[in-house]
A and B are shown apart, each in its own frame.
Chain A
Amino acid sequence: QQQVKQSPQSLIVQKGGISIINCAYENTAFDYFPWYQQFPGKGPALLIAIRPDVSEKKEGRFTISFNKSAKQFSLHIMDSQPGDSATYFCAAGYSSASKIIFGSGTRLSIRP
């Protein structure tokens, strides 16, 4: 019940295309859903986050879509650029606790 399932494991997108990464969770007590971006040799960096009281959040080219009834959320990267090539992790957490549970990660490659 603590798991966060992420797909796909890897993704190749042409420059200018839309990258879509999906995650699913089981525990309805989760109420915080961040996405992290990780470059090789670096720690994860918070990209964007959403709470379950909204269905979508947009920051620049990055959008989270959240479907509470399906217990799914996804990251959309519009106009994908080579600099977006990284590993992306979805995660879930509780407002009353401190830890977050990470998905297994998606290695995204943007082809020029």
Chain B
Amino acid sequence: EPEVTQTPSHQVTQMGQEVILRCVPISNHLYFYWYRQILGQKVEFLVSFYNNEISEKSEIFDDQFSVERPDGSNFTLKIRSTKLEDSAMYFCASSGTTLGYGYTFGSGTRLTVV
């Protein structure tokens, strides 16, 4: 069964440092997403990406965040200057439609900011 692959599985970074979280979506999917889950809390939408541009973003997704699809297969989330409150599980997802049906999530990257 096709999978969404995320790397690394766990990243520890110092406050103020830049981090890049990487994702390889399912190959024939067209819509890409990042969500995050702070420990023990609900899954929160960050951003959606289609046709090489952001289609929607949440209030959480401020100027410190950016997304990119640099080579047609990878999909990255960059946090420019990490804060303690950025510590969370970050999930990448991809979909063949806009309806959420067929959303496939990766296993996530646990980001710890110290």
Contact = CB atoms under 8 A, between A and B. Distances in A.
B18 interface: no
A99 B48 contact: yes
Contacts of A96: 98
A62 interface: no
Given A44-B91, A104-B42, A97 B107 contact: no
A103 B99 contact: no
B42 A32 contact: no
A39 to B, nearest CB: 10
Contacts of B43: 36, 44, 89, 102, 105
B41 interface: yes
Contacts of A36: 43
Interface string A32-43: 101010000111
Interface of B: 4, 31, 33, 35, 41-45, 48, 50, 55-56, 58, 91, 93, 95, 98-108
Interface of A: 32, 34, 36, 41-46, 49, 89, 91, 93, 95-105
